[in-house]
Structure 1
Amino acid sequence: MRSSTRWSLSPVASLAALSLLFIVLPMASRYGLGWSDVSGYLSDLAIGSLLVLLSYRRPWLAIPLMLAWAVMLLGSAELVTAVGRLPEPGDLKYLTDPQFLSHSTSGAGITYPLLAAGLSIGTLACLLTGRRRWRALPRYSYALPVVLLLAHATDQYLAPSEADQWKQFNLPHKLLAESSNAAQLTLENWLDGDTATPPDIRGLAQLDLDGTPLLANGGKARNVLIIAMEGIPGAYIAGNREALHSSYDEDLMPRLSQWAERSMSTPDYVLHAHQTIRGLYAMLCGDYDKLNSGTPKGVELLNNQTRNEQCLPAQLRSQGFSTHFLQGAGLRFMAKDQIMPHMGFQQTHGREWFRNKPYVEFPWGMDDKAYFEGALGYVKQLRQKKQPWMLTLLTVGTHQPYSAPRDYLERYSSPKLAAISYLDDAIADFLAGLEKQGALKDTLVILTSDESHGIENVRLASAWGFNLVLAPDQAALPGIKTGVYGHVDLAASVLDYFALPVPDNISGRSLFRDYSTPRQIISYTNGLLRQHDGKVLTECNFQQVCRRYSSTGFIADSAPYIGRISGKQARLVSQKADLLDQSISGGQIGQRYQFANRERIDLKADDSNDWADNLIGAQYLEMPKGTRTRVTLKIDALRMDHQGAVLHLKTKEFDRDVTLAIPELPALKRGQSIELSFDFDNLETRKAFSFHLTGKGRGSIRISDFSVITEPLPLELVATQTDESGETLLP
């Protein structure tokens, strides 16, 4: 009897341990991380129960499943916290890398030690209780995960959720859904008979100045000032929330909202992408940046000697304006030291320009109050000259890890909220300073943001921007500008305001015209490709499934769901995005980028931050599958003490370290140079690929060469090389 009791309890203990690891821990961590969503819990139950059944009585299978599950769960939490997305299939090889599981690139440790400890205990319990001799479970028990997966799929189909991916799926379920949808699309393509006819993108890419002008003979201003505030969504403007009937009710920027009441505000204003350089390119060059994570078009612009002349700064320079760019951070990151002059800015300045003392020490650069105080002096200098001018300002204080003084930090629950309030006061004081100078009487002022850092549980917040116009002709402009507009419209709008010719290669509509017909516009944020045709918003997710919503505007608090599309119809959306992506170079193969500007760089005593201390602007590049990338580098010591300088070159994908065979950089001594050349093969497409060159020492250097060129692999290697799935890399 005693033996029978022991026998009957042991399988129960084994099932309990497996359930703890595969079901209880993921559901508890979902709740603790704030990822609660019915679909997510259903996903955890479905995949967890399947893993329990597969692991029971199978130690040879249970061990790899347990280890993979623990790494995936912890890795997902780390990556969502770091960059706001679930891992992609290409990231899986990094989930076993300790570097990936650290909180930051500086190695601050695992963000969720309790989750890691729970996974370790759960895995150990499973190993101690697992046996092959336990009685088999009934076969019908395998129906449980199948029913749960079907229930999840049915719920997604009938009532699609707009929550983030990690709230709806765990990582294995997401990968399973992607594979299932890929197979379905392949079958649909075969049944439909795919066509090679490209879709029509004229509605997205054309210039439209057919609207009725708000200002009959152009505006009265002689100068233009564009202010881009880091990461601020349109929901922070009270008038925008009211106009679009938004349920979001936090008043985080009340002083800017007061200025919005004096301006022409465009509530339904669309941001097309994440990343500052992409937002700047779209607004200054009248073109969509990449609607994916490929090489930013601003970088591609460096290899194009004609498209850059059609950007707004170059156009205004050709009309007699002096053109200026001033940001609070250093210029080298994302190669803005080269991109902005290439767009037509005659003067490009970053952190090094400011002589006023910052109020807050911030690794990215000037805090917002000190920045705007310096910028006010810059405007004063420009106004003392007779020449009309264009000035573009870019803040940095609301960029993670956020910049705010102690008294703001004490008043708010997070550094982010404190930084937003600090920016609100800084920009309001700056605008008041402009008014006191008299600048608002002769200057067109446009306030916007480079991108949106999003808002939890606010629909489309990652694509919701804002545009406020202050002009000498304010009485002739409406307080609220109706219609859908976006960053792609800004360049055409400014040229239209001054009644200047607009190049045909610039896309979009003018904010200074009224249109009686709807328009097409497109955006790619938070991993979702969204296209609006004036009546319907089509949103395509990672499963390559597109959901359609009836909506006369793009940004809306809610919209009726009218069904989903896949197959040929869904492909048209991504094909349009692909065609828009090719507006400059048509791809990366054979492109040569030179990131060296040969300027003197003063080194710091420490190089602890891979981003803020980066000495070169080669970030977020794309290297296509089946190519070879060659890098050449030359660094000269201009002034150096006897200890010399220590330099490091790192590479990253999606902001995480990637291990490549890069030679170590030797110590740089006084009067010497370092020359380096290396290459690496891209057996799979590399996206969001970045080079990070840091250095520490006492003295200064000059980077005279940092070129990156990507070309097809030699044919004799293509036939023998295989990617990670074993597929031969044939052209």
Structure 2
Amino acid sequence: MEGLFCERFFHWLRRPHARLFSLIVLVLIVPVCLRAALGWSTPLGYLSDLAIGSLLLVVLHRRAWWLALPVLLFWGLLAVATAELVSAVGRLPTPADLHYLIDPQFVENSTGGGMAHPALAVTLLVALLFWLLTQFVSRAVKRPALPRAIWAAPVVLFTAHWAAQNLWPNEDDPWRQYNLPHQLLASQVADLQIQAEEWLDGDVEEAAPVMAGLTDVDLNGHKLLSAPGQARNVLIIALEGIPGAYIRANREAIGSHYQEDLMPNLSRWAERGMNTPDYVLHTHQTIRGLYAMLCGDYDKLNNGTPKGVEMLTQHERNKACLPAQLRQNGFSTHYLQGAGLRFMAKDKIMPHIGFAATHGLEWFSNANYLEFPWGKDDRAFFEGALDYVGQLKTQKQPWMLTLLTVGTHQPYSAPDDYLERYETPKQAAVGYLDDALEQFLSGLERQGVLKDTLVMITSDESHGIDGVRLASSWGFNLTLAPEHEQLPRLNAGVYGHVDLSASILDYFDLPVPSALSGRSLFRDYDSGREIMSFTNGKLRYHDGHGIFSECDMPRRCRYYESAGFIAESAKFKGNYSGHPARQIAARADALDLSLLRTPLNHRYQFGSNNVIPLQAQIKDDWADNLIGAQYLEMPKGSHTRVRLTVRSVDPQQAAYIQLKAKEFEQDVQLGLPSEMVATADQPLEMDFSFDNPLPRKAFSFHLLGYGLGAVEVTDFSVITEVPGQEDILDDVPDDEAAQSS
């Protein structure tokens, strides 16, 4: 029976249409099925898959297999890279990522397990092998020509996609609307079109945009409180990655279709305070969110060096940050998070902006309730935080405490009973956080802390929600104040993290430095305001006069009629490029340069004299990093030099050191040894450099170590400069160059 089946199968393989059928399976049927399996089902997405597939079909059908195979392999790698990167960081690959497809380590990781979607790669490989089999078996059979109508299919499908995008635009994630090759092609075509438009416009010098609405402090609204706030202390609670849609009051206020009640406890607390439904998160990444809320300034609206890191070179602007201002006015200032402080250099940034006490994982003595690579699980964290508040209560000084949770960060962890109650680990982690926060707030109430403390609960960033408009930019601010009866339950107007510092100073009727920007949450404004965000690769701008713009291709934007920023829906008005789009980009560029005019010629020192205990083995490149040199920016044509010194503290123990580099989360090969050794007598000293032929953004150094002892990283200096100019790394003394210790 089996022999008969094989005979019939090979007989079928020799038929004239076998090769055509196998190609159809590979480039048309498999991509559509995989899109459905990944949960990316949208009409535009299927249309894009069919358009690219039909193009491959007509181009490769009658080509020799050795010509078609490299094209199909590259196409398959793009599909795998798309699924993996979307799963890891929620974005499509960019042209800057394409060189990873020929990187040996990337290919090894992509074929050696540990993938988010291994079934996708296996399915594509099987379909490709099936196509190769038909090529081999029927190599002597003449292939029939395609009907002429098929040649028109790519044009028709691409045109239909373009028309749908322009006539009925939607705000689905890019990977739901595009196959990656189609998205790259569309971006290039749009860029060429815009360059042609600019060439036709001639060499017109753009007027600098008016920035006052984005950079100035606006305290012209009507005060919500008739007198300075009654609170004595300030407590800011930043919940990792929580979007505003998780608060019931916010969902109801904007009429959101999203009804999943993942945080019922926090929603009940929201009934007792002032909520701000239209609350904007300006960027992704914790350090950027903390900078915006604590320093009253937009962080980079791109993937450049975080301003918190840039501020380490500044010794005036940091004095305007909220912790420094409150400390100047008699508050004791404290920062506590559930993870190690070295990640994103918070061990240096937080003291620099005014925190008198900065603590991370090392402060906690209580045990975890579950294993979590980043540090304290949320229940253990809030139990420790409650003890910390109890210690603050014993002092005579008013205090300011900022808390940051980490439990709702990837990889999401929760106890088994939560994992059984929820569909996904992410939902379980959010539910676990909600219960832990409820116990903490109830504990504060029992201790009487809420009677004399201004509590602001918010999030550092948003981990987004599938199918919810602007979820990546939708934050929340729940204010619990002693005079809550005088405050509205719903705070009208558009606010964001950039407003938090000015708001707290305004609450206490303290002077607000002119270096800050934003409005006060404790004032009611008669007019709209300008506000911006950059999340999921889209630059968004509201002009304060009912027009919301979203730019997701180079200098090409869509605009909508929308009273506020966060809304369930908005009326599409059209597309534009040229001068209006360039003005939005110019506003973002101006905000990006509020601290440093250029990333060149600034020395960053990430070393210190702190003793760092080593682990027996390296478990995670991010959580185990010994330094905070993350997400740096290196301009095109520049040269970066790195100098480091690592010493083992224990004379009897050697430390084994690795140094890795990553760009947009992917490994970058710098030609460094795979492993090095540092001892007490012979510290590891390195001085190396590399060129940046293309711009580098989101570039991170990962200094990793393992062993039985501890180390000191006394020097980790990074400077990026123009090749051939004077090397300021050696000429500037350590205690004068970008001090950060």
Q: TM-score range by the shorter chain?
A: over 0.9
1:236 matches 2:246? yes
Distance (Å, rounded) in 2 between the aligned partners of 1:482 and 1:288:
22
Residue in 2 aligned with 1:487? 497
Residue in 2 aligned with 1:727? none
Q: Is the 8 A contact 2:233 2:400 kept in 1?
A: yes
Q: Is the 8 A contact 1:604 1:696 kept in 2?
A: yes
Matches within 5 A, 1:361-376: 361-376=371-386
Moved over 6 A (4+): 6-9, 102-105
Distance (Å, rounded) in 2 between the aligned partners of 1:183 and 1:175:
12
Q: Is the 8 A contact 2:555 2:585 kept in 1?
A: no
Structure 1 residues 405 and 122: CA distance shift in structure 2, 3 A: closer
Output the amino acid matched with 2:85.
L
What's the CA shift for 1:714? 2.9
What's the CA shift for 1:198? 1.7
Comparing 537-546 and 159-168, the one that deviates more: 537-546
Once the two structures are superposed, residues 541-579 of structure 1 have per-residue CA deviations (whole angstroms, 9 ceiling, x without a partner) of: 136431111111111111111111112221211111111
Structure 1 residues 256 and 71: CA distance shift in structure 2, 3 A: same
Residue in 2 aligned with 1:725? none
Structure 1: give runs of 5+ residues left out of the alignment. Answer: 1-5, 717-731
Q: Is the 8 A contact 2:658 2:676 kept in 1?
A: no
**Secondary structure at the counterpart of residue 95 of structure 1:** helix
Residue 465 (structure 2) aligned to one of 451, 455, 480 = 455
Comparing 654-663 and 304-313, the one that deviates more: 654-663
Residue in 1 aligned with 2:332? 322
Residue in 1 aligned with 2:93? 87
Residue 258 (structure 1) aligned to one of 268, 278, 291 = 268
Q: Is the 8 A contact 1:266 1:481 kept in 2?
A: yes
Structure 1 residues 198 and 10: CA distance shift in structure 2, 3 A: farther
Q: Is the 8 A contact 1:286 1:491 kept in 2?
A: yes
Once the two structures are superposed, residues 605-624 of structure 1 have per-residue CA deviations (whole angstroms, 9 ceiling, x without a partner) of: 11121111111111111111
1:619 matches 2:624? no
Residue in 1 aligned with 2:123? 118
Q: Is the 8 A contact 1:224 1:445 kept in 2?
A: yes
What's the CA shift for 1:182? 0.7
Residue 569 (structure 1) aligned to one of 568, 580, 587 = 580
Residue 257 (structure 2) aligned to one of 229, 233, 247 = 247
Residue in 2 aligned with 1:129? 134
1:678 matches 2:699? no
1:538 matches 2:549? yes
Matches within 5 A, 1:475-514: 475-514=485-524
Residue in 1 aligned with 2:175? 166
Distance (Å, rounded) in 2 between the aligned partners of 1:380 and 1:113:
49
Structure 1 residues 543 and 152: CA distance shift in structure 2, 3 A: farther
Distance (Å, rounded) in 1 between the aligned partners of 2:553 and 2:635:
20
**Secondary structure at the counterpart of residue 571 of structure 1:** helix
Output the amino acid matched with 1:473.
E
What's the CA shift for 1:665? 4.9
Distance (Å, rounded) in 1 between the aligned partners of 2:380 and 2:116:
33
Output the amino acid matched with 1:431.
L
What's the CA shift for 1:122? 2.4
Once the two structures are superposed, residues 398-445 of structure 1 have per-residue CA deviations (whole angstroms, 9 ceiling, x without a partner) of: 111123222212222221111111111111111111111111111111
Structure 2: give runs of 5+ residues left out of the alignment. Answer: 1-10, 727-741
1:146 matches 2:116? no
Residue in 1 aligned with 2:68? 62
Structure 1 residues 196 and 561: CA distance shift in structure 2, 3 A: closer
Distance (Å, rounded) in 2 between the aligned partners of 1:539 and 1:259:
33
Q: Is the 8 A contact 1:489 1:507 kept in 2?
A: yes
1:692 matches 2:692? no
Residue 26 (structure 2) aligned to one of 3, 21, 29 = 21
Once the two structures are superposed, residues 507-537 of structure 1 have per-residue CA deviations (whole angstroms, 9 ceiling, x without a partner) of: 1000000100000100111111110123011
Residue 431 (structure 2) aligned to one of 418, 421, 425 = 421
**Secondary structure at the counterpart of residue 251 of structure 2:** helix
What's the CA shift for 1:335? 0.4
What's the CA shift for 1:140? 4.9
Q: Is the 8 A contact 2:243 2:471 kept in 1?
A: yes
1:588 matches 2:593? no
Matches within 5 A, 1:264-663: 264-534=274-544, 535-542=546-553, 544-642=555-653, 644-663=654-673
Distance (Å, rounded) in 1 between the aligned partners of 2:515 and 2:165:
40
Structure 1 residues 399 and 104: CA distance shift in structure 2, 3 A: farther
Once the two structures are superposed, residues 613-655 of structure 1 have per-residue CA deviations (whole angstroms, 9 ceiling, x without a partner) of: 111111111111000000000012212534x121111001111
What's the CA shift for 1:670? 3.8
What's the CA shift for 1:336? 0.3
Q: Is the 8 A contact 1:313 1:345 kept in 2?
A: yes
Output the amino acid matched with 2:608.
N
**Secondary structure at the counterpart of residue 650 of structure 2:** strand
For normalisation by structure 1, the TM-score amounts to: 0.94
Once the two structures are superposed, residues 209-251 of structure 1 have per-residue CA deviations (whole angstroms, 9 ceiling, x without a partner) of: 0001112331011111100000001111111111111111011
Matches within 5 A, 1:3-82: 10-59=15-64, 60-82=66-88
Output the amino acid matched with 2:172.
A
Distance (Å, rounded) in 2 between the aligned partners of 1:488 and 1:506:
8
Output the amino acid matched with 1:445.
V
Once the two structures are superposed, residues 139-173 of structure 1 have per-residue CA deviations (whole angstroms, 9 ceiling, x without a partner) of: 55322101110110000000112111111111110
Comparing 399-408 and 578-587, the one that deviates more: 399-408
Comparing 697-706 and 60-69, the one that deviates more: 60-69
1:191 matches 2:197? no
Comparing 594-603 and 668-677, the one that deviates more: 668-677
Distance (Å, rounded) in 2 between the aligned partners of 1:311 and 1:470:
22
Residue in 1 aligned with 2:185? 176
Q: What is the count of residue pairs matched by the alignment? A: 710
What's the CA shift for 1:104? 9.1
Distance (Å, rounded) in 2 between the aligned partners of 1:559 and 1:603:
52
Q: Is the 8 A contact 2:502 2:520 kept in 1?
A: yes
Q: Is the 8 A contact 1:661 1:680 kept in 2?
A: no
Distance (Å, rounded) in 2 between the aligned partners of 1:302 and 1:104:
38
What's the CA shift for 1:316? 0.8
Output the amino acid matched with 1:114.
A
Output the amino acid matched with 1:343.
I
What's the CA shift for 1:129? 3.4
Once the two structures are superposed, residues 327-362 of structure 1 have per-residue CA deviations (whole angstroms, 9 ceiling, x without a partner) of: 000000000000111111010000000111111121
What's the CA shift for 1:455? 0.5
Output the amino acid matched with 2:448.
G
Distance (Å, rounded) in 2 between the aligned partners of 1:102 and 1:537:
44
Q: Is the 8 A contact 2:632 2:700 kept in 1?
A: yes
What's the CA shift for 1:116? 2.0
**Secondary structure at the counterpart of residue 641 of structure 1:** coil
Structure 1 residues 149 and 543: CA distance shift in structure 2, 3 A: farther
Once the two structures are superposed, residues 106-160 of structure 1 have per-residue CA deviations (whole angstroms, 9 ceiling, x without a partner) of: x743333332222223223333434595343355532210111011000000011
Q: Is the 8 A contact 2:635 2:696 kept in 1?
A: yes
Question: Percent sequence identity over matched residues?
Answer: 60
Distance (Å, rounded) in 2 between the aligned partners of 1:104 and 1:328:
32
Distance (Å, rounded) in 2 between the aligned partners of 1:40 and 1:543:
21
C-alpha RMSD of the superposition: 1.9
What's the CA shift for 1:8? 12
Distance (Å, rounded) in 1 between the aligned partners of 2:689 and 2:407:
37
What's the CA shift for 1:456? 0.8
Output the amino acid matched with 1:491.
S
Once the two structures are superposed, residues 357-413 of structure 1 have per-residue CA deviations (whole angstroms, 9 ceiling, x without a partner) of: 111121101111111111111111111111111110000011111232222122222
Output the amino acid matched with 1:628.
H
Once the two structures are superposed, residues 38-87 of structure 1 have per-residue CA deviations (whole angstroms, 9 ceiling, x without a partner) of: 01111111111111111122125312211111111111111111111111
